[in-house]
Amino acid sequence: MSLSMQILEILVLVFVAAVALLLLTALTFFIVDRSQHSDAIRRNYPVIGRFRHLFSSLGEFFRQYFFAMDREEMPFNRAQRDWVERAGKGKTNTVAFGSTRGLNIVGTPLFVNSAFPPLQDQYAKTEPLVVGPDTRTPYLAPSIFNISGMSYGALSQPAVRALSRGAAKAGIWINTGEGGLAPHHEEGGCDIVFQIGTAKYGVRNDQGGLDDDKLRAIAEKPHVRMFEVKIAQGAKPGKGGILPGSKVTEEIARVRHIPVGKDSISPNRHPETYDFPSLLAFVAHVREVTGKPTGIKTVMGDKAGIRGLFEEIARQGPDSAPDFITLDGGEGGTGAAPMPLIDLVGMSIREALPRLVDLRDEFGLHDRIRIIASGKLINPGDVAWAIAAGADFVTSARGFMFSLGCIQAMKCNRNTCPTGITTHDPHYQRGLVVEDKEVKVARYADQIREELETIAHSVGVAEPRMMRRNHVRIVQDNSESILMSDLFPPVHPQDAVTLQAT
Ligand code: SF4
């Protein structure tokens, strides 16, 4: 038999074997699908029903890459993500042929351009702002835009290192999240805000309470500038959590001060804080032990609810106030949280921020309490809106995750993050090169600040903190826009006037 005939025969045999294997597999699936009880589709449509699962999981990727329009996806659309990516790469963020944004969508902010914007020599620098002026070690915060709380553990080691080094380059702070202070947070030498969660990771005693000696030791580190007592976050207000023992590696255990390999439970609130007086007492205690500005992080459920905090401050006097309030929007969330809490609990930042600012100003605490806004504020327009609404600072978690290369695969809770940001698997972490990403982190922060200034100049003021609510119009459901100052009339007299460039 000739060689070509032999090859043909082998090919036919391989083909027949492949077809037989295929039929055998289909038959096995058919029997399995027909006899299982948990999935009605596969029981009624054996084998074929499996494609539904395949296509719905692949649909996520097809939509992202092929079908979704630039402004369609959630939680962040392609236009928003691309802006961060280009900023991180140092590429120009100019676009051609006009806006792709739907400008008649309810809630869209439109900035009010000035007929006479300041000339370049009239621009002012955004000055550092002091937080906690009466503490033993006030913090002169240099940057208006900073990194929001993300724990080491939720984030990978290279991600935290890149953030820390990028933050140092950009002169911004990084918030540790509730998972304690890891050496990786300190690597870059940037300013650090230490967050105290309900489990008191990093500053806890064996019973899970606050250990003053450990707290003092953290406060003695010069880069640790402020302390934030977290009472709620956007993704899971009112919910604690379990850190499974499998995730409690030796290093995580050392950082968090918990036993290796054992489940660790976070209560759903600080046991010490059961009303506003006890909350203020806890804040005062942390401030006394650390000597550094101490604030709270929360989500606003209702204006009337948080009013009680300000009434209590009014009763006790301004010294009792937290030095800052970080307000998270109910829409926030970087890690794993139950969908009803992510979707349905807590006001969005767009509604809550002006109300909180008004309460602070109504109680005469404008210069006493700094407000830090957080919650899906990842592009310059979002940040400009928050500053105009009355925030003193803006922080972002997911914006900085995008600068690290996050592709919104939304597998942060599965240890299979394809970009190495939220996984402890060294195989995936290999993709995150710290030296490359730290530059992107810094460039992203720089470009946010630069374009924030551009918006400020366009509305006619010399620098972003001079923006007011009458510089922004908000689109209503009849497609017309009205001034934010009409929607949320400002309380502080300073807010009622337009400060023109000097
Ligand atoms: S790439 Fe996906 S899994 Fe990784 S951080 Fe981003 S959203 Fe989470």
* CB of residue 413 inside a 6 A radius of ligand 1: no
- DSSP code for 229: E
- Asked if pLDDT for residue 204 goes beyond 80, the answer is yes
pLDDT in tens, 119-130: 988 998 899 999
Mean pLDDT over residues 405-417, rounded? 81
- For atom 6 of ligand 1, which residue has the closest CA? 406
pLDDT over 90 for what percent of the chain?
A: 64
- Centre of ligand 1 from the C-alpha of residue 418, in Å: 7
The number of C-alpha atoms within 13 Å of 460 and in the hemisphere containing its C-beta is 14
* CB of residue 406 inside a 6 A radius of ligand 1: yes
Which atom of ligand 1 approaches the CA of 410 most closely?
7
- For atom 8 of ligand 1, which residue has the closest CA? 412
* CB of residue 338 inside a 6 A radius of ligand 1: no
- DSSP code for 393: E
Confidence band for 501, pLDDT divided at 50, 70 and 90: very low
- DSSP code for 133: T
* DSSP assignment string, 194-211: EEE-TT-TTSB-TTSSB-
Instruction: Please give the single-letter amino acid code of residue 262.
Output: K
Confidence band for 482, pLDDT divided at 50, 70 and 90: very high
Confidence band for 498, pLDDT divided at 50, 70 and 90: very low
3-state secondary structure 312-358: HHHHHCHHHCCCEEEEECCCCCCCCCCHHHHHHCCCCHHHHHHHHHH
Tokens for 120, please give them: 């370049």
* Range in 54-58, 106-110, 264-268 with the lowest mean pLDDT: 54-58
Residue 340: what pLDDT? 58
Residue 338: what pLDDT? 61
Three-class SS state of 76: coil
Give me the residue label for tokens 């500005």: 293
Q: Distance (Å, rounded) from C-alpha 171 to C-alpha 489?
A: 34
The number of C-alpha atoms within 13 Å of 399 and in the hemisphere containing its C-beta is 29
- Asked if pLDDT for residue 500 goes beyond 50, the answer is no
Tokens for 391, please give them: 């925030």
* CB of residue 336 inside a 6 A radius of ligand 1: no
- Centre of ligand 1 from the C-alpha of residue 179, in Å: 19
Residue 502: what pLDDT? 34
* CB of residue 265 inside a 6 A radius of ligand 1: no
Sign of CA dihedral 81, 85, 90, 91: negative
pLDDT in tens, 308-319: 999 999 999 999
- Which helix (H) or strand (E) segment is 80 a member of? helix 78-89
pLDDT in tens, 19-69: 999 999 999 999 999 998 878 888 888 998 888 878 777 776 677 676 677
* CB of residue 411 inside a 6 A radius of ligand 1: yes
Residue 152: what pLDDT? 92
Tokens for 476, please give them: 């209503």
- For atom 1 of ligand 1, which residue has the closest CA? 406
Classify residue 118 by burial, with Cβ atoms within 10 Å: 0-12, 13-18, 19+.
buried
State the average pLDDT for the chain.
Answer: 88
Pick 295 or 416 by higher pLDDT: 295
pLDDT in tens, 463-478: 999 999 999 999 999 9
Instruction: Please give the single-letter amino acid code of residue 272.
Output: E
Nearest to 146 by CA among 400, 443, 473, 462: 400
Residue 336: what pLDDT? 58
**Whole-Å CA distances, 464 to 247, 354, 385, 435:** 42, 17, 10, 31
Which residues partner with 227 through β-bridges? Answer: 194, 294
- Asked if pLDDT for residue 344 goes beyond 90, the answer is no
